[in-house]
Amino acid sequence: MKVYLVRHGKSVAPAKDPSQPLSEDGREEIRHMARTLANMNLKVGIILHSGKLRAEETALEIAEVIKPAGGVKEAKGLAPNDDPAEAMEWIDTAGEDLMIVSHLPFLDNLLEELLRPAQAEELPSFDSGALIGVEKVGEQWQIFRQLGPRMIY
């Protein structure tokens, strides 16, 4: 089982637009990442997002290219300050690989929960538009992939 954790792309400042859609730079970075993921033949059953506009737009941009069978869905419990317990339940019961598009500090907290305690001290950071792939090997989760906009140009 693989889970891809993605931080939304760069968004416009709240003062410019309170709904904080993706900026043009953020949208282009996500499109580039999506093409890279397609070239890697990445497949997921579904992409879940927090419901915030920047996360939804990020999920849709990626889905347009990698075409998850289950599509893109908003899921409760993925907001910036949510407890990762609900997401852990989805991960534990998912029958296929999935992608979660969310925010900080939620993604940091979810990654720490997945990797605890083995790798918790050495966690990578989630820049805007970054992806961290984790895979369950036996009973332990481990990082197997890390991509970010600056890594794939």
Sequence length of the chain is: 153
Q: Given the DSSP bridges, would you call strands 2-7 and 131-137 parallel, antiparallel or unpaired?
A: antiparallel
pLDDT higher than 90, residue 120:
no
pLDDT higher than 80, residue 61:
yes
Q: Given the DSSP bridges, would you call strands 2-7 and 98-102 parallel, antiparallel or unpaired?
A: parallel
According to the 3-state scheme, what is the secondary structure of the chain?
CEEEEEECCCECCCCCCCCCCECHHHHHHHHHHHHHHHHCCCCCCEEEECCCHHHHHHHHHHHHHHCCCCCEEECCCCCCCCCCHHHHHHHHHCCCCEEEEECCCHHHHHHHHHHCCCCHHHCCCCCCCCEEEEEEECCEEEEEEEECCCCCC
pLDDT of the residue at 152:
58
Query: The domain 2-147: what is its CATH number?
Result: 3.40.50.1240
What are the sequence ranges of the domains in the chain?
2-147
Structure confidence by residue, pLDDT tens digits, 83-118: 999 999 989 999 999 999 999 999 999 999 999 865
